[in-house]
Amino acid sequence: MKVWELDREYEGLISFVKTGREGKKRDVREAVLKIREAVLSRGDGALVDFSIAWDGWEAPRPLKLTSREIDEAASRVPAGDISVLKGMIRNVASYHKGQKMPQRVFRNKGLVVEEGPVPVESVMVYVPGGTASYPSSLVMGVVPAQIAGVRRIHAATPGRGGAINDHVAAAAKLLGIDEVYRVGGAQAIYAFAYGTDSVPKVDMIVGPGNAYVEEAKRDVYGSVGIDMLAGPTELVVLCTEAHSPKMVALDMFSQAEHDELASVGLFSSSRGHLDDVMKSIEELLHGAPRRETIKKALDDNGYMVHYTDLGRAVEAINNIAPEHMQLLGDASCLPSILYPGVIYVGPNTPVAMGDYYIGTNHVLPTAGAGRFTGGLSVDRFTKRKVVVTIDRTFIERYGDRAERLARIEGLPAHGDAIKARKESPK
């Protein structure tokens, strides 16, 4: 990993991070469009062919799991792990319950506007399953959807060898989700966006995924809603003091192990601290179970930044807007840190705890999207319903002005519609 000197290499650092993101998009776009064409033209046949080629299916099988398959897979999960999953569901539900949009009534003279949430009707929660399996992502997608009142919730996850991960099945059973499909990747996104013989078209698709899933979600937006572009994971660690090099290295590993395309950065005010963290990385890599993935991610997308001005470091982090950020040391700069998807503060708050048990959602914006959107929440599964009623007094008070604006904008029918109300018998 290169060490950037922020004082003189600010623009180069930002370009490195952003160019890497764009490079990933260019690399996958062409492949994703071919997947789209196959799914749209051949439907279930294409999904099965992709599963045989990429997920190790030995023969075609139904895309939807039966309740018996879900039960059998879930039954293989130890009781202790079931308890762990229940605890996560409980914590996530507890946090998200407070996010429901309130009903609101606005009144003015002659005007009543009623606002309230209406849940989307059907959702597909995507659960990654490439180099690892993520029952936690199923929980993070399903719980806020259920709290929002979504009527039909489907889950899709790659079926390795034709079977889904036992813990994903157990989480689905605990959540009461029986519409589970063994299909993953960009092909799953296209299938649920447009529908096939076996896969229903939904209103919304949520959940994190690799670069191919992210690109497919970008492509289908408009045909269906999406939560956000939640692609390969990102982490920036900001150290205002020389925090434990081993601890910092392990925190960096915790995100780099997700994906070779993961982006992990470290900002430190001490050049010696950066050197110590680099030594810890080299030492810990030897025994890391996911060594190859971590090394590839750090080599290709990792970066270290030496800064002398904390304000400038915060400016760079706001510019990057990483998915996750950890702040270790002086938290006085916290009010100025605005755009990471989530900020974990202090030595006892690793991002890994946020991935599982804090209760906040771990489906978060990536690729700089944190500058304009936040993580998955209950209100993401609802639309705002607005009901407006005005009476004669409002027309008499504001009708002339509204009619004049219509004439200014060259829209005479607008003005005539307003004028007709003004002139109608009371």
How do residues 259-305 score in pLDDT, each as one tens digit? 898 999 999 999 999 999 999 999 999 999 999 999 999 999 999 99
Q: Are residues 196 and 90 in the same domain?
A: yes
For residue 378, is it within any domain?
no
- The mean of the pLDDT values for the chain is 95
How do residues 148-196 score in pLDDT, each as one tens digit? 999 999 999 999 999 999 999 999 999 999 999 999 999 999 999 999 9
The confidence score (pLDDT) of residue 405 equals: 97
The candidate with the shortest Cα–Cα distance to 157, out of 176, 143, 175, 171, is 171
Is 241 an annotated catalytic residue? no
Q: Are residues 278 and 308 in the same domain?
A: yes
d(CA 120, CA 200): 15
**What are the E-state strand segments in 186-262?**
204-206, 225-226, 234-239
CB atoms near residue 265 (< 10 Å): 25
Q: Are residues 274 and 343 in the same domain?
A: yes
Query: Which DSSP string corresponds to 120-152?
Result: -SEEEEE---SSS--HHHHHHHHHHHHHHT-SE
The confidence score (pLDDT) of residue 24 equals: 59
Q: Are residues 250 and 362 in the same domain?
A: yes
Phi, psi of 285 (to 5 degrees): -60, -35
- For the chain, the maximum distance between any two Cα atoms, rounded to a whole number of angstroms, is 86
The confidence score (pLDDT) of residue 67 equals: 96
Residue type at 46 in one-letter notation: A
Give the end of a domain, one of 227, 253, 281.
227
Residue 242's domain is classified under what CATH number? 3.40.50.1980
How do residues 297-346 score in pLDDT, each as one tens digit? 999 999 999 999 999 999 999 999 999 999 999 999 999 999 999 999 99
The confidence score (pLDDT) of residue 99 equals: 93
Burial 373-385 (b: 16+ CB within 10 A, else e): ebbbbbebbbeee
Strands 111-119 and 104-108: antiparallel
> Which residue of the set 96, 154, 258, 324 is catalytic?
324
Give the total number of structural domains in the chain: 3
For residue 35, is it within any domain?
no
Sign of torsion, CA 247 251 257 259? negative
Host H or E run for residue 370: none
Q: Are residues 19 and 49 in the same domain?
A: no
Contact 139/157 with Cβ under 8 angstroms?
Answer: no
Q: Are residues 47 and 163 in the same domain?
A: yes
Give the end of a domain, one of 164, 199, 227.
227
The SS3 call for residue 326 is: strand
d(CA 349, CA 343): 9
> Which residue of the set 69, 214, 260, 323 is catalytic?
323
> Which residue carries 């199923």 as its tokens?
138
Contact partners, residue 339, CB within 8 Å, separation at least 6: 317, 318, 321, 370, 371
Give the end of a domain, one of 227, 246, 279.
227
Rg (CA), the chain: 25
Contact partners, residue 91, CB within 8 Å, separation at least 6: 357, 358, 359
Tokens of 319: 């510019």
Q: Are residues 138 and 73 in the same domain?
A: yes
Is 324 an annotated catalytic residue? yes
pTM over 0.75: yes
How do residues 217-234 score in pLDDT, each as one tens digit? 999 999 999 999 887 899
Q: Are residues 148 and 57 in the same domain?
A: yes
Q: Are residues 354 and 416 in the same domain?
A: no
d(CA 162, CA 184): 11
The confidence score (pLDDT) of residue 28 equals: 85
Q: Are residues 90 and 208 in the same domain?
A: yes
How do residues 27-70 score in pLDDT, each as one tens digit? 789 999 999 999 999 999 999 999 999 999 999 999 999 999 99
The candidate with the shortest Cα–Cα distance to 310, out of 289, 280, 335, 340, is 335
d(CA 411, CA 426): 26
For residue 110, is it within any domain?
no
The confidence score (pLDDT) of residue 22 equals: 64
- Residue ranges of alpha helices (H) inside 195-269 are 211-220, 245-256
C-alpha to C-alpha distances, 206 to 133, 225, 226, 231, nearest whole angstrom: 16, 8, 6, 12
The confidence score (pLDDT) of residue 129 equals: 86
For residue 241, is it within any domain?
yes
Q: Are residues 223 and 355 in the same domain?
A: no
The confidence score (pLDDT) of residue 21 equals: 63
Q: How would residue 423 be classed by pLDDT, with cut points 50, 70 and 90?
A: confident
CB atoms near residue 230 (< 10 Å): 28
The strand pairing partners of 352, in sequence order, are none
Q: What is the extent of the structural domain holding 79?
A: 43-101+115-227
d(CA 136, CA 142): 10
CB atoms near residue 251 (< 10 Å): 24
- Residue ranges of alpha helices (H) inside 302-411 are 310-320, 351-356, 392-408
Contact partners, residue 417, CB within 8 Å, separation at least 6: none
Q: What is the DSSP letter of 117?
A: E
Residue 357 has pLDDT above 90, yes or no: yes
For residue 292, is it within any domain?
yes
Helix pair angle (6-42, 44-54), 10° resolution: 130
For residue 379, is it within any domain?
no
The SS3 call for residue 34 is: helix
How do residues 107-152 score in pLDDT, each as one tens digit? 999 999 999 999 999 999 999 986 678 999 999 999 999 999 999 9
The confidence score (pLDDT) of residue 131 equals: 67
Q: Are residues 198 and 154 in the same domain?
A: yes
The confidence score (pLDDT) of residue 128 equals: 92
For residue 382, is it within any domain?
no
Tokens of 267: 């900002």
d(CA 80, CA 242): 38
For residue 107, is it within any domain?
no
